[in-house]
Structures are given as C-alpha cells and as structure tokens.
Structure 1
Amino acid sequence: MSLFRGKNILKKFFKRPKINWSNYEFESSLQLNEFVDQLLEPIKYSQSNYLIKLGLHEALVNAVKHGNKLDPKKNIRVRRIITPNWCVWQIQDQGNGLEIKKRDYKLPKKISSVNGRGLYIINECFDDIRWSSKGNRLQLALKR
C-alpha cells in the first residue's frame, strides 16, 4: 500500500465542510430590494424565504436609518456565509451602535406606530441573533 493511497482514504473521512462566503459594501440607501435578492440568491427557494427576505430587509433598513442616519457618505458592510448547516449574514454600519438596553424584541404597545417593530420582525425571522459589543454589527443566522 502506498503512502499516497492512505492519504486519499483519510481525505474521505476528514473532509472540510464547504463554506461559501461573500463580502459586500454599499453606500447608505433605502433602495434595498435587489440587494436582498442578491443576498438570498444561493439559497434554495422556499416559502420561508419571504420571512428571511423580510428579516434581512428590516436589518438593512435599521442599519441605514438608525445606524448611519441616512448619511450617503457612510457605508454598510455585509458578509454572507453559507455552510452545510447555517446561512449567516453579518450587517455592519458606521454608526455608534445600539445600546443593549435599547434592544427590545417585543412589539410596540401602539401597533400603529411608525417605528418599533424592526427588532421584533428580525427576531421572528432568524434562529440566532448576535450583536457586536459596540452594537453596530448584527449577525443573523438561519439553520439550513
């Protein structure tokens, strides 16, 4: 038995999981529909994609409006990571961050209010949500 043949057998048992990742950066803008579609492109279409699309759109709107204060000179960075078990999106703005005590995932008491539903929607659409310590980067994860 040759040494090389043994290595090929080991490769079959110790395969690295396939990880696909992409980085994006864009100027603050609320024209997000095509970009969200691009972020979802590698994911197989299903009925639940509407919720994912809604959650991603809401997270990006929050980054543009609340993080970057609609300043077109500030950018939003997005990293998409797809593994065999997870789809992950990291969204980072150039703002000061959202304080921990202001991260409220409940619906507002006055449902007709213009603001206040974003974090609730995001929380309902993803399996795991994490914030950077500064509060200006949000990681959204979905089990595959």
Structure 2
Amino acid sequence: MALRWSDFITPSTLQLAPLVELLLEPVRCESTLAELHLGLQEALVNAVRHGNGCDPRKCLRIRRIQTPRWLVWQVQDEGPGVPAGHRGHALPDHEDTPCGRGLFLIHHCFDDVRWSGRGNRLQLAVRRSRFNARGLDSPDH
C-alpha cells in the first residue's frame, strides 16, 4: 500500500458528528472505533473551542493519512496555538479544573500524539498492527 491521504476542510462549529464518522471510515472494529471516536472528538472540540474560539468564520483542516503501518489524523485550527508548556497529557491536579481532561483522553486513545511547533496542529496516530487483526481496513482497501 502506498501512502494515501484525504483532506477535509470544515467551518469551525461543534456540529462534529458527521465529520468524525467520515474521518473514522477506515476503522471497522467497534471497540477500536469507540476509543478513536472519543479521542478524535476531543481533538476537534479543542480545536473549535480553544483554537478557533467557536468562530464559524474560521475553519478546521483535517488530513487523514493512511500508510502501511499507521493511520494518522492531523487536526489544524486557525488559532495562535497551544503553548508548549500546556501540551501535557496528565490529568489535572484538581478535579474542578476546567481544562486538561481532553488532552489526557487524546493521549490515552492514540499511540502517538505530536504538536506542530506553533501548536495549532495536532497529529494523532494509531498503529495498524494494533488493529488490523481486529478490524481496520486492510491496506489494500
């Protein structure tokens, strides 16, 4: 299988369910689908709320990349970016803290999470070997 990618550009709104389903089309295993759905939903909501400030005039750009070994999503917003010191993946120290749980969930759902230098693009990846036997479309599909 050669590298394949699909680009998606959408207005920055919280109407994300159809987009998440589209982005997860290659995943067939129900338990895997649920886990990735949760992580991808969190990443998109963070991009809309924190990155684009819920401004529907701004866009989200998502690229789905399929390689022989990985399934990758790059989520980019038009915001200033998350500062490097705020990209952690531990749960917040205090349970009443309004932010931070989403990043914890994202890191839990994906095998690899990376930020662009500016911090306005998040790359989420899952190993195909982790899911091929359990229902990720084969590289030939």
Q: TM-score normalized by structure 2?
A: 0.86
Unaligned runs of 5+ in 2: 129-141
Give CA deviations for 1:39-80 in whole Å, capped at 9, x if unaligned: 011222231211100000000000000000111111000000
* 2:64 paired with 1:66: no
Q: Which 4+ runs in 1 deviate beyond 3 A?
A: none
Indicate the percent of aligned positions where both proteins have the same amino acid.
Answer: 50
Provide the secondary structure at the position in 1 that maps to 2:30.
Answer: coil
Larger radius of gyration: 1
Say if 1:60 and 1:95 are closer, same or farther in 2 by CA, change over 3 A. Answer: same
CA RMSD of the aligned region, Å? 1.2
Amino acid at match of 2:53: K
Q: What's 2:132 paired with? A: none
Q: Distance in 1 between matches of 2:97 and 2:67?
A: 38
Higher relative contact order (CA 8 A, sep 6+): 2
| Aligned partner of 1:46 among 9, 13, 30 | 30
Q: TM-score normalized by structure 1?
A: 0.84
Unaligned runs of 5+ in 1: 1-16
1:65-104 matches, within 5 Å, as 65-104=49-88
Q: What's 2:135 paired with? A: none
* 2:14 paired with 1:30: yes
Count the aligned residue pairs. 128
Q: Distance in 1 between matches of 2:55 and 2:9?
A: 14
